[in-house]
Amino acid sequence: MEHAVQVELLQKLMKQLDDGVNVDAGVMLKNKASAYTCPDMAKREWETFFRTHPQIIGLSGDLPEPGNFITVEDFGVPVLATRDKEGTFRAFHNACRHRGAMVTTEKRGKQAKFTCPFHGWTFGSDGALIAVPMEDHFGSIDKSCHGLIELPAVEKYGFLWVHPDPKGEIDAEALLGGLAPEFDSWGFDQMVNKDGATYAMDLNWKLAIDTFGETYHFKRLHKNTLAEGFYGDVQCYDIFERNHRMILCVKSIDDIRGTPTDNWKMSNGGFPVYYLFPNIQLNVGAAGMTMVRVYPDPKDPNRSISQVSFYFRPELLAAEPEKLMQIAHNFGRVIQGEDYAVAETTQRAAQAGLQDYVIYGRNEPALHHYHNTYRSALGLEPLEVFE
Ligand code: FES
Ligand SMILES: [Fe+2]
């Protein structure tokens, strides 16, 4: 992010604090509570946003060296992602070409070959079928056309994108909607992965996304945790096509007041939180970034799974590993134990069906944008103004 923009955003936060105001969407919107429970809507979302849309599965740091691999199974197509011998990011359907067993069920690791546990067919990290045991018994197989089914894979700005459709297209710039230069400046491509968490919760995937969309709840829900380090009820908010960026206000912003702006940097007083359509939240701090990938449970609109991954600037992680891991896991615990825990209660209310609608306030513009963005992608009308 350009220095001038960092200063401008920090100054905006200071002014909001001084004036006692927050961002203002101008109107309130209302959404049907059934948006969080409707099986038909869930089915369309699954097809449109997960089965047929490019997916971010991690950062370059998840595949640090040739031979590293990760597997994901969050959006209907099991994926084996590798860094091949040449260092290229590749992605494959994690399904053996014999009878479809997963060639590995490990979440991550390092190996040049994948031997299917069922009958032992072996594939390289480039997907090529290398060996078929007992081929004289089995029959002759043309290995050149029985490699793992390859999926479109793009590595750019530190992100790993996979398309679940072998014929799908990934246009990183279009997906980022103008955020590419800014992401470049945060150096996501240099970050290393360490740990993460999986939260399977009784809440619709959109409710999980909603919890990241405002700072109105900081002083209340997070009074004993995040509110110690953040000012709630202020934020900067900007839209980047289908994505958006919030800048949360860190209390240390008070320390730079009156100091020369030449020395200011975002992490002195701001904490960027990005939403990338359709299901990614990025929380960017001085030491690294926490990525949250949110997925519906395709069998139940009332459930979702959040995959949380912690990434760090390597030199900072090396200097203070325990401290940084503790901060990261504490953040994860706040997401699960406070945000998602309360969202599970709102899910139960939506399921009870007595409350027709929920209201998104003027101070919750991220919710306005998010809900209207996915609605537009589903061909639905924008949300009604609440009066
Ligand atoms: S299913 Fe993989 S070797 Fe048979
Ligand atoms: Fe929260």
> What value does the mean pLDDT take over residues 329-347?
97
How confident is the model at residue 307, as a pLDDT? 98
SS (H, E, C) 154-174: EEECCEEEECCCCCCCCCHHH
Could you say which of 148, 169, 190 is where a domain stops?
169
Is there a single domain that holds both residue 39 and residue 188?
yes
Q: What is the pLDDT of residues 90-147, one digit of tens each?
A: 999 999 999 999 999 999 999 999 999 999 999 999 999 999 999 999 999 999 999 9
Are the beta carbons of 216 and 362 closer than 8 angstroms? no
Per the structure, the complete domain to which residue 211 belongs is given by 3-52+178-386
Could you say which of 152, 169, 186 is where a domain stops?
169
> Count of domains in the chain?
2
Q: Separation of 227 CA from ligand 2 center, angstroms?
A: 10
Is there a single domain that holds both residue 72 and residue 218?
no
User: Ligand 1 pocket test: which of 80, 121, 123, 148 has the largest number of ligand atoms within 8 Å of its C-beta?
Assistant: 121
Is there a single domain that holds both residue 59 and residue 37?
no
Rounded to an integer, what distance in angstroms lies between the CA atom of residue 227 and that of residue 251?
Answer: 9
How confident is the model at residue 270, as a pLDDT? 98
Could you say which of 123, 142, 169 is where a domain stops?
169
Is there a single domain that holds both residue 138 and residue 259?
no
Q: Separation of 151 CA from ligand 1 center, angstroms?
A: 20
Is there a single domain that holds both residue 13 and residue 93?
no
Q: Ligand 1: list residues with CB < 6 Å.
A: 96, 98-99, 101, 116, 118-121
Are the beta carbons of 49 and 304 closer than 8 angstroms? no
CA atoms within a 13 Å half-sphere pointing along the CA-CB vector of 271: 23
Is there a single domain that holds both residue 245 and residue 349?
yes
Is there a single domain that holds both residue 7 and residue 45?
yes
Q: Separation of 339 CA from ligand 1 center, angstroms?
A: 43
> What value does the mean pLDDT take over residues 271-294?
98
Q: What is the pLDDT of residues 192-221, one digit of tens each?
A: 999 999 999 999 999 999 999 999 999 999
> What value does the mean pLDDT take over residues 177-186?
95
Q: What is the mean pLDDT of the chain?
A: 97
Query: Of all atoms in ligand 1, which is nearest to the CA of residue 99?
Result: 1
User: Ligand 1 pocket test: which of 104, 118, 134 has the largest number of ligand atoms within 8 Å of its C-beta?
Assistant: 118
Q: What is the pLDDT of residues 305-323, one digit of tens each?
A: 999 999 999 999 999 999 9
For atom 1 of ligand 1, the residue with the nearest CA is: 99
User: Ligand 1 pocket test: which of 80, 99, 113, 149 has the largest number of ligand atoms within 8 Å of its C-beta?
Assistant: 99
CATH number reported for the structural domain that contains residue 159 in this entry: 2.102.10.10
How confident is the model at residue 50, as a pLDDT? 98
- C-alpha 233: how far from chain center: 24
Is there a single domain that holds both residue 46 and residue 61?
no
Is there a single domain that holds both residue 71 and residue 151?
yes
The C-alpha torsion from 360 through 363 and 365 to 367, rounded to 10°, is -40
Q: Separation of 300 CA from ligand 2 center, angstroms?
A: 24
Is there a single domain that holds both residue 112 and residue 20?
no
Q: How confident is the model at residue 3 (pLDDT cuts 50, 70, 90)?
A: very high
Is there a single domain that holds both residue 20 and residue 138?
no
Copy the structure tokens of residue 246. Answer: 């919030």
Question: How far is the CA of 153 from the CAs of 57, 80, 91, 293, 375, in angstroms?
Answer: 10, 11, 6, 17, 27
**Phi/psi-derived region of residue 353, left when phi > 0, alpha when psi is between -120 and 50, beta in every other case:** left
Is there a single domain that holds both residue 204 and residue 325?
yes
Q: What residues flank ion ligand 2 with Cβ within 5 A? A: 339
Q: Separation of 214 CA from ligand 2 center, angstroms?
A: 8
CATH number reported for the structural domain that contains residue 300 in this entry: 3.90.380.10
